[in-house]
Amino acid sequence: MGRNHLFLASIVFFVALMPGCASMRGPVDKPASTALSPATDTPSARYIQSELEKHPSDISGFRLLSLSTNALLSRITLADHAEKSIDLQYYIFKNDATGRLVAQHLLIAADRGVRVRLLLDDLNLEEQRSMLDAFDSHPNIEVRLFNPFKTREPSIPSKIVQVMLEASRLNRRMHNKSFIVDNKIAVIGGRNIGDDYFDASVDTNFRDLDLVAIGPVVIDASRSFDDYWNSDAAFPVSAYPGSDNKHEDLKQQRLSLAKDARRFAESDYAEAAFNELPDGATADRRGQWFWGKAILVADAPEKVEGEKPSESLVLVPTLDSMISASKSDLLLMSPYFIPSDSNVEHLAALSKRGVSVNILTNSLAATDELAVYAKYAPHRKPLLEAGVNIFELRPAPGSGIPQSHPGQSSGVSLHAKAFVIDGRFTYVGSMNLDPRSKLLNTEMGLVVDNEGLAKAVKAFFDTAVLPANSYRLLLSTDAKPGKQRLLWSTTNKGVETLMDDEPDTTAGQRLKMRLMKLLPVDGLL
């Protein structure tokens, strides 16, 4: 046996000895299931149908969820009003205060006969596993994991070894986010389930966008969910030994979730959230909808197999062609922005032909991914030289996209993935403008043709790029073209300040970022 084979054999032996590493069973019972027919005889369904009947059959309705508290309470309310089914697909579903609140309402729905299907990416699951096992024992709840590790509770060393052995598979993740109720109404966008996505974290909170959707596009979302649910990459949690006979655990989860929900209802966050509710675009009551033709853009689940990328990369070609068609203005928001050289040339060409191109991403002080910022940094000068406007979000509390007071967080970070073209076409979804989203992860989102919605997303952007909330990048005027220094412009107490280093960062942070520029990790980001 050669040295390579000995090395691989030793790794497999090492994995087998790790605690908590019960391997996935062989043949797995995984019956196919599909979305139930849309509800028709519930109060919510009748209201939605009455709204849809005012418009042509190919038109869908939308509400923008920009307030984090409304984004949480809309999901809670939808779960409470569900009569037939709830289908959830998420990259992250945390076992924290808001995650457990959502979980409790899913359990309550299942208790009254609603079928719940929960599909989660396996990468970030840790302390959630016991809750998921317990939920799966409920006759009306089924939980599946997408592209899972081969051991049930892999330790960090185990994850590292498994990634080494199966890098081409495990490096590809399901980044989709959708919450579909009764096959009649859906929430699709950038938010995962967890405190930092709903302004309930005491640390950094994310600023994000979701769309509540009704109409034919919801049926498309359900079809996409079914494709993932029934794909070869989705495995039931029962595929692991030790996940059987969890009925006693479910009883304990009921008690624990109810206790946590009571505690949450008494919190300052809950009071602030409910106080804001009447003014927000929630999903359960009459109010303004944005109406327009829309398409659901979603990668095929086979993208994680990496064998037929051209056939599974559905989202990127669609969005690229729309961006190329920009005529007057283009707004891009992405927390992780790593354009390729061809992307830079493309955006520069748009700017040179008169399109106003504006980009919002995270500053070094606001990002949660230092390596991503390092790989974005070299592209700033070429874009600025071509006339593209770049803004970087400041991390300060109160950065106005919008509110940060309920969780009393110490900072904010951009998490919204959206663009607006010519004040008419809007994309809101899960895809970052980086190589990982384009080539490795599966992504989804909605493209809507409606000027009112475009205006609402632009208002979110315009608030974010105010001097109090972001830095505007400029080139110095004291050198020849190509030799200018980067400057960060901001306003403090009405006075403009120019800085020539990444603001609100330490010398150590900047050094780490510059060292990361040298690492050959572009294909992993």
Are 233 and 329 in a shared domain? no
**pLDDT in the model for residue 11:** 43
pLDDT tens figures, 176-227: 999 999 999 999 999 999 999 999 988 889 999 999 999 999 999 999 999 9
Higher pLDDT, 251 or 246: 251
Higher pLDDT, 399 or 257: 257
**pLDDT in the model for residue 6:** 39
308 is catalytic: no
Higher pLDDT, 292 or 126: 292
**DSSP annotation of 203:** S
Kindly name the residue from 80, 329, 422, 449 that is annotated as catalytic.
422
**pLDDT in the model for residue 262:** 87
Spatial distance between the Cα atoms of 306 and 520, rounded to a whole number of angstroms:
21
Higher pLDDT, 158 or 142: 142
Lay out the sheet containing 210-214: strands in order across.
Answer: 234-236, 141-146, 115-121, 85-90, 178-181, 185-189, 210-214, 60-65, 290-292
Are 334 and 370 in a shared domain? yes
Are 424 and 380 in a shared domain? yes
175 is catalytic: yes
Q: What is the mean pLDDT of the chain?
A: 86
pTM of the predicted model as reported, rounded to 2 decimal places: 0.90
Task: Give domain status of residue 15, yes or no.
Answer: no
Spatial distance between the Cα atoms of 376 and 339, rounded to a whole number of angstroms:
7
121 is catalytic: no
96 is catalytic: no
Are 234 and 322 in a shared domain? no
Are 267 and 323 in a shared domain? no
405 is catalytic: no
Task: Give domain status of residue 236, yes or no.
Answer: yes
Are 302 and 272 in a shared domain? no
Q: Check whether 416 has a pLDDT greater than 60.
A: yes
**pLDDT in the model for residue 397:** 52
The domain of 148 spans 35-279
Higher pLDDT, 276 or 212: 212
pLDDT tens figures, 299-338: 999 998 876 556 666 678 888 899 999 999 999 999 999 9
Are 495 and 389 in a shared domain? yes
- Count: domains in the chain: 2
The CATH number assigned to the domain holding 418 equals 3.30.870.10
Task: Give domain status of residue 29, yes or no.
Answer: no
Kindly name the residue from 84, 417, 434, 438 that is annotated as catalytic.
417
Kindly name the residue from 177, 184, 381, 438 that is annotated as catalytic.
177
Report phi then psi at 391, rounded to 5. Answer: -125, 140
Task: Give domain status of residue 30, yes or no.
Answer: no
> 3-class DSSP state for residue 389?
strand
Paired strand residues for 172: none
Are 189 and 303 in a shared domain? no
Per DSSP, the chain holds a count of helices (H) and strands (E) of 18, 21
512 is catalytic: no
